[in-house]
Amino acid sequence: MTNSPELGIKGITEPEAWGSCRNPWNLKHNSGGSSGGSASAVAAGIVPIAGASDGGGSIRIPASYCGLFGLKPSRGRTPWGPSMSEVMHGAVSQHVLTKSVRDSAAMLDATQGREHSSLFTIESPSQSYLKIMQQAPKKLRIAFSTTSPIATKVSKDAVLAIEKTAKLLAALGHEVVEASPKIDGKALAKDFLTTWFSQCAYNIENMKAQYGVKNSDFELDSLAIAALGAKTSALDYIQNINNWGKYVTQMNYFFDDFDLFLIPSTASVAPKNGQVKTPAWQTPILRGLISVGQAHHLAKGKLIDQIIRNNLQWVPFTQLANITGLPAMSVPLYWNKDHLPLGSQFIAPFGREDLLLQLAHQLEQAEPWMPMYRQIKI
């Protein structure tokens, strides 16, 4: 087992129990989350492949920070197994983190398909992904954007990463156009977090019932998020879930004109360890409100907006694929002057992992990233 943030609810990995998960490219930086330990293990060469899950970017974020290939499959592509059908209404997908596109495709062949707990049947490819991957994609029309959907700052590295990728795509014969789907990014972020917070509340209450744990067994941030989620009304939650369908519709219209959507995987290279955390001045406020059962009142003020903004500003680009259930991947095509990687994210129409893998393999051949690993000094 490897390091992970508590309950898998953060885009960084530095739980109080185990400390920061260090990034092999620079040990002062974090590996991202929630699959941070898996990413560090693969990037450092400890293992060639490691399991990962993605409910808000937890495959693509550490892939971006650690220079790995990370594919989030479509909703239902990789079943959860007999104990549960899906998590968070299908927003969470299971797959792996790898260095090569080949390894990711081979694992998808081994794990994709229907089993008895699956809520629906998703069409399997006519050939294995390993074979499909080796076939060059047709000329693609690819939209790209470097603008944060929640109007937060996007680093120069993220912009340069996408510009470099766009030029490479054009050189390979693809048409690249600057365009974005007509989706209110702030509204989508709010709907995502409503579900995320509610899921956290459920997980904590379920653990209390099953294992007899207490509030004191959880981190303060987990309790604060759960407190907000527990006070979401049924009406608000249903409206939130209904909104997901609007985003799916808008993406379907978008893909009438484009084959893929290219955006940064993360807004910057990996943050330093300890850089992304609840500000010290907020800690006593949260602790006091939680102790008297009043933390949910944060949702009525501006503090919750600030908490959301402070956390999602690092990773504003990944939640779209989770909400819509679309397949997405982070491809390692950029390293900055300090040798820190930042991934290029591609989102595809539903069920088109084949298209993503074909393009990823083409990019891997045109701009190999494996030689970069010779620079890692553990």
The pLDDT tens digits of the residues spanning 215-235 come to 899 998 899 888 888 888 999
pLDDT 10s digits, 14-49: 999 999 999 999 999 999 999 999 999 999 999 999
Angle at 25 between CA 316 and CA 221, to 5 degrees: 45
pLDDT 10s digits, 324-358: 999 999 999 999 999 999 999 999 999 999 999 99
pLDDT of residue 84: 82
Q: Strands 141-144 and 93-98: what pairing?
A: unpaired
Q: CA-to-CA distance for 123 and 188, rounded, in angstroms? A: 28
Amino acid at 104: S
Q: What is the mean pLDDT of residues 78-90?
A: 87
The closest of 265, 261, 266 to 326, measured between CA atoms, is 261
- Per-domain residue ranges for the chain? 6-375
Region 6-375: CATH code = 3.90.1300.10
Given a contact cutoff of 8 angstroms between Cβ atoms, the answer to whether 233 and 282 are in contact is no
Structural tokens at position 345? 């994210």
Given a contact cutoff of 8 angstroms between Cβ atoms, the answer to whether 84 and 53 are in contact is no
Given a contact cutoff of 8 angstroms between Cβ atoms, the answer to whether 60 and 66 are in contact is no
Q: What is the mean pLDDT of residues 147-158?
A: 96
Q: Strands 69-72 and 328-331: what pairing?
A: antiparallel
Given a contact cutoff of 8 angstroms between Cβ atoms, the answer to whether 41 and 23 are in contact is no
DSSP letter (8 states) at residue 182 = S
Q: What is the dihedral of CA 283, 295, 316, 333, to 10 degrees?
A: 50
Q: Tokens 């989620």 belong to which residue? A: 229
Q: Tokens 């045109």 belong to which residue? A: 366
